Amino acid sequence: MASVGAVKLSFCFVLWLSNILSSCQGKENFYENQYPFIRRASSFSSSSSSSSSGGDNVYDYIIVGGGTAGCPLAATLSQNFSVLLLERGGVPFSNSNVSLLQNFHIALADTSPTSVSQFFISTDGVLNARARVLGGGTCINAGFYTRANARFIKRRGWDAKLVNESYPWVEKQIVHRPKLAPLQRAVRDSLLDIGVSPFNGFTYDHIYGTKIGGTIFDRFGRRHTAAELLSSGNPRKLTVLIHASVQKIVFDTTGKQPKAVGVIFKDENGNQHQAVLVNKAKSEIILSCGAIGTPQMLLLSGIGPKADLKKLNIPVVLNNKFVGKGMADNPMNTIFVPYNRPVEQSLIQTVGITKKGVYIEASSGFGQSNDSIHCHHGIVSAEIGQLSTIPPKQRTPEAVQEYIKNKRNLPHEAFKGGFILEKIANPLSTGELNLINTNVDDNPSVTFNYFKHPYDLQRCVDGIRMATKIAQSEHVTNFTRCNKETVDKILNMSVEASVNLIPRHTNDTKSMEQFCKDTVITIWHYHGGCHVGKVVNPEYKVLGVHRLRIVDGSTFSESPGTNPQATVMMMGRYMAVKILRERLGRAAGI
């Protein structure tokens, strides 16, 4: 009887959740009881913001970017100080494409101006996405949660005790233990068979071997994002403005060093506002716009290479040649796994952490819903016959759009399959970010230079060989009910299933190196552009200016762990506690 009751309760919850999500689709006000401090940007009045001595619109901290780091940062700082959090996107709570696991890929496929995912293509020809919603990347990622290794924490110079207090603060609120999907079990067993051992069970820790990690999807398939961490904030001291697109930071340049005094932002109606810091030395503007948005914001505000700024007629506040440099993305390549059975959606749960600097993961079920066949899936696509039928020189953005339009004619069988994902850790190949224009809504130009360094390419070859062995393993073929295929056939299928704008070569399935170059895609783990020692100091304060700090992955020289979201959220909490303790001592009460 107890089990029957549990089933009924689960069924009722799913019905309730579906009704809530469907009734709230397109509405952004049902969350106001739980988050009364979230308002539209147009509600902001600039009338009292001209004075830096006090007033309703003067703040101790102004945080630009309500994403993975910005939300925990704002919630924690608001315990003791007034905080304004400015987010250019809307809320995730009423968007079923964010909230439901089954719609994971649809949010990424939405390229409209109001999408939670802002589509961009690096100059390398790789399709990518950056978040445009409260909660940031936690709203559009695959949900996998795993901590950084101890070496990463040590290299950052972080206090290990405070780090180990900050991770659980996040985990208690939004992280769950996954119910292991059949594909994830098959990949787990295959990883162990090919020597990625030992099996470390379920753990958040980054340990060599095979493990099961956490997830921000609960057992009902509902996503929990960094936006929910705002519920830990002090509603009397916290203001969150959505659809607030910050145009630039305002500086006082009359002193020896420029001093950040406020920001100018645009609301959803296109009207401009100015928010101002209180006139106290320790008050700060903190950029948490992510690895693309933060260097872009510095450049738009006049901090960056002098010559580049002058080309766009941006007044130079500080000449710093390192802003936007050292950009890196962890290259990912995939091996397609055909199914001869119904496909169950499965995002990342199992991971193999190898000593070769390669991480192995798996996913399935992209493109399974009725809606998705009308979308393009950009990052990871299960469509066999994608763009490989188009000659390389004709594989243009226009050709992609034409493909998207014609895709509805594809047979549904083309969507049946999964992927073994192979990601390179700590790539040595780096690139740069540059402004195209002065419109903050437009993407900057980003180059990652995938596989420019030969060591990265060699690790990819090692990873593809491992991923191919997994696709051929008995555990996987018994699960998919497919015959064991040759390496050549697996690579040929995988080439056809990969989506990017990189010209294919005739030898891309004969040479593992060429396969890596031709089929590289992203796993959204880009970082850099504002490195410690070059753009910020070890406390993440921007060098050469007062009252400006950066707290996000743009300061990283490597992506933490196998997947970075855990550490970026932890960083938001960690830095806020550190700031409060340094400013208030024991009175911080954290």
pLDDT one-digit tens code per residue, 95-117: 888 999 888 877 887 778 889 99
The percent of residues in the chain predicted with pLDDT above 70, rounded, is: 83
Does a cis peptide bond (omega within 30 degrees of 0) precede residue 198?
Answer: yes
Q: Residue 205 is part of which domain span?
A: 179-212+331-424+451-519
The reported pLDDT for the residue numbered 589 is 73
Q: Are residues 343 and 412 in the same domain?
A: yes
pLDDT at 398: 67
Residues ≥6 apart with Cβ < 8 Å to 171: 145, 204, 214
Band the pLDDT of 206: cuts 50, 70, 90.
Answer: very high
340 and 196 in a common domain:
yes
Amino acid in position 386: Q
Distances (CA, A) of 10 to 3, 14, 198, 220: 10, 6, 35, 8
Q: Do residues 477 and 557 both lie within one domain?
A: no
276 annotated as a binding-site residue: no
pLDDT confidence tier of residue 498, bands split at 50, 70 and 90: low
At a CB cut-off of 8 Å and minimum separation 6, what does 129 contact?
A: 108, 117, 118, 119, 120, 140, 378, 379, 524
Matching residue, tokens 């010559």 = 307
In terms of phi and psi (left: phi > 0; alpha: psi -120 to 50; beta: otherwise), the region of 589 is left
**375 and 456 inside one domain:** yes
Q: Write down the pLDDT at residue 32.
A: 72
Query: Is 532 flagged in the annotation as binding?
Result: no
DSSP alpha helix (H) spans, 33-103: 70-77, 96-99
Sign of dihedral through CA atoms 47, 50, 55, 59? positive
Least confident piece of the model among 71-85, 204-218, 487-501: 487-501
pLDDT attached to residue 384: 38
Asked if residue 543 and residue 402 are part of one domain, the reply reads no
Residue matched to tokens 């999500």? 21
Least confident of 12-26, 27-41, 192-206: 12-26
Question: Is 493 part of any domain?
Answer: yes
Q: Note the pLDDT of residue 48.
A: 39
> What are the tens digits of pLDDT across the range 56-65?
679 999 999 9
Of the candidate ranges 93-107, 143-157, 302-316, the one whose mean pLDDT is the lowest = 93-107
Let me know if 203 is exposed, middle or buried by CB neighbors in 10 A (0-12, 13-18, 19+): middle
Backbone angles phi, psi at 358, to 5 degrees: -125, 140
Please tell me the total count of domains within the chain: 2
Place of tokens 């015959």: 483
Q: What are phi and psi of 506, to 5 degrees?
A: -65, -20
CA-nearest of 260, 293, 241 to 90 is 241
Residue 249 included in any domain: yes
Which one has a higher pLDDT value, 405 or 369? 405
SS3 content of the chain, % helix, strand, coil (to 5): 35, 20, 45
Q: Which positions ≥6 away from 350 have C-beta within 8 Å?
A: 180, 184, 185, 187, 188, 191, 210, 211, 212, 213, 361, 362
Task: Point out which residues pair with 83 in neighbouring strands.
Answer: 61, 238
User: 203 and 283: one domain?
Assistant: no
Residue where a domain terminates, one of 487, 519, 551? 519
Whether 565 has a binding-site annotation, put simply, is yes
* The pair of three-digit structure tokens given for residue 358, joined into one six-digit string: 């390669």
What is the DSSP secondary structure assignment for residue 484, as one 8-state letter? Answer: P
pLDDT for 243 equals 97
Residue 507's pLDDT is 65
State mean pLDDT over 403-431: 73
Q: What is the mean pLDDT of the chain?
A: 87
> Does the structure show a pLDDT above 90 at 371?
no
Yes or no: say if 451 and 331 are a contact pair by the CB < 8 Å rule. yes
Average pLDDT over residues 218-228: 96
In the structure encoding, which two tokens stand for residue 203, read together?
């753990």
- Residue 504: pLDDT band with limits 50, 70, 90: confident
Give tens-digit pLDDT for 445-457: 999 999 999 999 9
Select from 519, 552, 576 the last residue of a domain. 519
pLDDT at 489: 87
Residue 374 marked as a ligand binder: no
Tell me the whole-structure pTM to 2 decimals.
0.89
| Residue 360 and residue 461 in one domain | yes
pLDDT at 345: 83
Query: Is 524 known as a binding-site position?
Result: yes
| Pair (362, 314) in one structural domain | no
pLDDT of residue 382 exceeding 70 = no
Give the mean pLDDT of 357-368: 81
pLDDT value, residue 22: 41
Residue 537 belongs to a domain: yes
Q: What is the DSSP letter of 468?
A: H
Tokens encoding 573 = 């909490």
Q: What is the DSSP string of 88-148?
A: SSB-STT-HHHHBGGGHHHHHH--STT-SEEEEE-TTS-EEEEE-BTTGGGGTS--EE-PP
Question: In CATH, what number is assigned to the domain containing residue 499?
Answer: 3.30.410.40
Q: Choose one of 492, 519, 546: the last residue of a domain.
A: 519
* 429 band by pLDDT with thresholds 50, 70 and 90: very high
Query: 508 pLDDT band (50/70/90 cuts)?
Result: low
pLDDT at residue number 502? 76
pLDDT tens-digit map of 130-151? 999 999 999 999 999 999 999 9
Note the pLDDT of residue 321. 98
Residue 483 DSSP label = P
Query: From residue 303, how far is each of 16, 443, 545 by CA, in Å?
Result: 49, 18, 9
Residue 410's pLDDT is 45
Average pLDDT over residues 78-103: 93
389-409 confidence digits (pLDDT tens): 444 455 566 665 665 555 554
How many Å from the N-terminal Cα to the C-terminal Cα in the chain?
45
Please report the pLDDT score of residue 49 as a whole number. 38
Does residue 100 sit within a domain? yes
Q: Is the pLDDT of residue 584 over 50?
A: yes
Q: What is the arrangement of strands in the sheet containing 259-266, beginning at the earlier edge strand?
A: 58-59, 272-277, 259-266, 245-252
Residue 254 lies in a domain: yes
Is residue 133 a known part of a binding site? yes
pLDDT exceeds 80 at position 24: no
Q: Are residues 231 and 367 in the same domain?
A: no
254 & 339 share domain:
no
Q: Which of 38-47, 257-266, 521-530, 545-554 has the lowest mean pLDDT?
A: 38-47
User: Any known ligand binding at 16?
Assistant: no
Residues taking part in catalysis: 525
Whether 127 is covered by a domain: the verdict is no
540 and 510 in a common domain: no
Q: What is the CATH number of the domain that holds 576?
A: 3.50.50.60
Q: Between helices 512-519 and 487-497, what is the axis angle to 10°?
A: 20
Per-residue confidence (pLDDT) for residue 411, from 0 to 100: 41
Residues 337 and 468 in one domain: yes
The lowest-confidence range among 20-24, 299-303, 435-439 is 20-24
The reply to whether 156 sits in an annotated binding site is: no
- What's the pLDDT at 21? 41
| Least reliable range by pLDDT among 194-198, 210-214, 511-515 | 511-515
Identify whether 144 is part of a domain: no
Q: Name the more confident of 398 and 564.
A: 564
Any known ligand binding at 240? Answer: no
pLDDT at 414 over 60: no
Is 47 inside a domain boundary?
Answer: no
Measuring CA to CA, which residue among 36, 491, 522 is closest to residue 236?
36
